[in-house]
Amino acid sequence: METELDLSGLGFTTISRLGKGGSATTQVVRDSADGRICVAKCVLLDTLSKHHQELAKQEVFLLQALRHPYVVTYCESFFMDGTATLVILTEHCEGGDLRRLILRTAGSASRFTEDQVMMWLSQIALALQYIHGKKVLHRDLKASNLFLDKNAAVKLGDFGISKVLEGTADFAATLLGTPYYMSPEVCCNELYSWKSDIWSFGCVLYELCMLKRPFESEKLPVLVHMITNDLYDPIPDLYSDGLRSLLCQMLTKSAAARPFADEILDNSYVHSYMAKLDSLAPDLSCGRTPPGTPPATSRAPGVFAVTGTPPGTPPGSQKLVSCSEKSSAAARAASGGELVLD
């Protein structure tokens, strides 16, 4: 396995290893051609079921199709020479993930200021508004899938179990995600849609305020009972009524009563923080759509194979997965691998 994960022959130097789980490993690498630092996720496809192989390929398609300041940026992907190892390169977020920062903050007996929490809330809401506008459900939104760049801006990542829905009123049914962040409708094995991501978003917001998850138990039946009955401790008084109101709306048991991402952004309390984001970096508000705008209808649905292009792809569109056009790409092309999803 270590030989398979050695990317030095493809022009990359490993800086550090981030983690290993199941059939995937992640590491921080430097591209010798241009010096850029990125994260390499190496997925051993031949150890996965056919369904999970398709999920891995779908992640590549989604990452390439999503471009937003608060979504982790896709760089490129390729198969390693003579193997079934898929390598997905994404931008490296120097600040690590939000979960680790929460644990460090809890260990130091301090708390995040409301201004910081609200800035992150605004950034996450923008990211969700964008992906939901592309008809993409994240399905595993949690603190460890939110990454911090060098400026402490948060970026949504890890689209490994995301789903593309065909229509704005579509629902998904597969039980996926991290139990602590599962919505009541997912716990009850009911159909779910955009509002399940909003519930998970509310769990993250709670975690930022309390430095612990709202629902925690080592026993799944107990956890499900807590989630489906809204059993969580109130957040500290140091946070405002405006923040409390947002949290209550997101952690409402009824999916229909939860706000959409654009409704969160249209909240009067959030407006002042949106203005701060715009003043700090006007281009960071890109991808925002007017409140009430329905998700786009041009995104192709489904899981994609390794040939052709996605159904519904506009003529002349860029290939969804390819090696980058630079000197080190020659080695990758020689390995026989340009991955194109359909």
pLDDT tens by residue, 162-209: 444 444 444 443 444 468 999 999 888 887 788 999 999 999 999 999
Half-sphere exposure of 310 (CA within 13 A, CB side): 23
- CA separation for the pair 147, 101 (Å, rounded): 10
- CA separation for the pair 203, 213 (Å, rounded): 7
Any alpha helices (H) in 212-328, and if so which ranges? 220-228, 241-250, 261-265, 268-280
Q: Is 23 domain-assigned?
A: yes
Q: Is 235 domain-assigned?
A: yes
Asked if 193 and 137 count as a contact pair (C-beta separation under 8 A), the reply is yes
- CA separation for the pair 4, 217 (Å, rounded): 38
Residue range 204-232: mean pLDDT, rounded: 94
Same domain? For 81 and 105 the reply is no
Any alpha helices (H) in 70-193, and if so which ranges? 98-107, 114-133, 184-187
Q: Is 137 domain-assigned?
A: yes
- CA separation for the pair 57, 52 (Å, rounded): 9
Same domain? For 157 and 265 the reply is yes
Q: Is 299 domain-assigned?
A: no
* pLDDT band, very low/low/confident/very high, at 158 (cuts 50, 70, 90): confident
- CA separation for the pair 283, 194 (Å, rounded): 26
The range of the structural domain enclosing residue 102 comes to: 98-285
Q: Is 291 domain-assigned?
A: no
- CA separation for the pair 217, 220 (Å, rounded): 7
Report pLDDT digits (tens) over 290-335: 434 333 322 222 222 222 333 333 333 333 232 233 333 333 333 3
Give the residue, 212 or 4, on which the prediction is more confident: 212
CATH code of the domain containing 216: 1.10.510.10
- CA separation for the pair 242, 229 (Å, rounded): 23
- CA separation for the pair 74, 91 (Å, rounded): 6
Same domain? For 130 and 170 the reply is yes
Domain count, the chain: 2
Same domain? For 133 and 156 the reply is yes
- In sequence order, what are the beta bridge partners of 203? none
* pLDDT band, very low/low/confident/very high, at 160 (cuts 50, 70, 90): low
- In sequence order, what are the beta bridge partners of 199? none
Give the residue, 192 or 35, on which the prediction is more confident: 35
Cα separation values, 281 from 124, 247, 277, Å: 16, 26, 6
Q: Which residues are annotated as a binding site?
A: 41
Report pLDDT digits (tens) over 236-286: 999 999 999 999 999 999 999 999 999 999 999 999 898 888 776 545 544
Q: Is the pLDDT of residue 53 over 90?
A: no
Q: Is 339 domain-assigned?
A: no
What is the model's pTM?
Answer: 0.76
Structure-token pair, residue 17 = 């290893």
What is the DSSP secondary structure assignment for residue 218, as one 8-state letter? S
Q: Is the pLDDT of residue 137 over 50?
A: yes
CA geometry: angle 324, 330, 335, nearest 5 deg:
100
Same domain? For 157 and 244 the reply is yes
Same domain? For 123 and 211 the reply is yes
Same domain? For 175 and 256 the reply is yes
Asked if 240 and 188 count as a contact pair (C-beta separation under 8 A), the reply is no
Q: Is 190 domain-assigned?
A: yes
Same domain? For 109 and 197 the reply is yes
Same domain? For 119 and 160 the reply is yes
Residue range 151-169: mean pLDDT, rounded: 67
Asked if 98 and 49 count as a contact pair (C-beta separation under 8 A), the reply is no
Q: Is 297 domain-assigned?
A: no
In the prediction, which pLDDT does 77 show?
A: 87
- CA separation for the pair 287, 70 (Å, rounded): 10
Lowest mean pLDDT among 55-64, 83-92, 300-309, 333-342: 300-309
Lowest mean pLDDT among 124-128, 140-144, 189-193, 296-300: 296-300
**Amino acid letter for position 37:** I
Residue range 44-59: mean pLDDT, rounded: 80
Q: What Rg, from alpha-carbon coordinates, does the chain have?
A: 20
Same domain? For 236 and 330 the reply is no
Q: Is the pLDDT of residue 134 over 70?
A: yes
* pLDDT band, very low/low/confident/very high, at 56 (cuts 50, 70, 90): confident
Q: Is the pLDDT of residue 104 over 80?
A: yes
CATH code of the domain containing 28: 3.30.200.20
Mean pLDDT for the chain overall: 77
Same domain? For 214 and 165 the reply is yes
Residue range 91-116: mean pLDDT, rounded: 95
In the prediction, which pLDDT does 261 show?
A: 97
Asked if 44 and 33 count as a contact pair (C-beta separation under 8 A), the reply is no
Same domain? For 104 and 121 the reply is yes
By residue count, the chain amounts to 342
* pLDDT band, very low/low/confident/very high, at 133 (cuts 50, 70, 90): very high
Residues marked active site are found at: 140
